[in-house]
Amino acid sequence: MKKEAFWAEQYRRHIGKMVGACYRYVADWDLAEDLAQDAFLAAMEKASTFHAFGSFEGWLKKIAINQALMHLRDCPEMVEWDENLHGREVEEESNEQAVPQTEFSQEELLETIGKLPVKQRTVFNLYAVEHYSHSKIAETLGISVANSKVLLTRARAELQQRLKVLARKRELVVSS
């Protein structure tokens, strides 16, 4: 019974963060909840593999992220990771203005990131949120380092464009 109480407490304490971690990758709350549930069950099954080298929360989060990545590997959008991106860089227009200095809420940022194409979103999250190197991303996703860099560049450019649009919409609302 003590084991059940432990896992019930861990569930209450960590499931929200696990759902959030999954959501960053799949951009669908219902799916993120399902994946987090599956990840929590996997953690219970793999409890013997936790050796307290890091935090328990970090271990759970890593399992949740891996669950989301496994799901994405099965998605049709992810089947062809290598789009022959090698050597192609995103052209940045030099006359573009930067995103206005605007405070965005966490929800707005998550929603904006969630609108990225799945490959860009995945690489962006692994790089910017999880702090993976491009070589680790390439290894994890089975792509080249060059493709990881191109997808990150594209993700950043698209995020910048989407945040500019969001900032302009706010200005219009304020001025009207």
Q: Looking at residue 152, which CATH number applies to its domain?
A: 1.10.10.10
The Cα 64–Cα 17 span in angstroms is 9
How high is the pLDDT of residue 117? 93
Last residue of a domain, one of 80, 113, 143: 80
In a domain, 85, yes or no: no
39 class by beta-carbon count within 10 Å (0-12 exposed, 13-18 middle, 19+ buried): buried
How high is the pLDDT of residue 95? 40
In a domain, 25, yes or no: yes
> Any idea what DSSP says for residue 75?
S
Which residue matches tokens 């380092």?
145
Nearest 5°: phi and psi at 143?
-125, 175
The residues near 59 (Cβ < 8 Å, ≥ 6 apart) are 43, 50
pLDDT beneath 70: ranges in the chain: 1, 76-101, 174-176
Closest CA to 16 of 31, 37, 38: 37
Q: Look up the pTM and report it.
A: 0.77
> Any idea what DSSP says for residue 95?
T
4/31 same-domain check: yes
104/47 same-domain check: no
Residues 101-150 have pLDDT tens digits of 678 888 899 899 999 999 999 999 999 999 999 999 999 998 999 999 99
Range of the domain at 46: 1-80
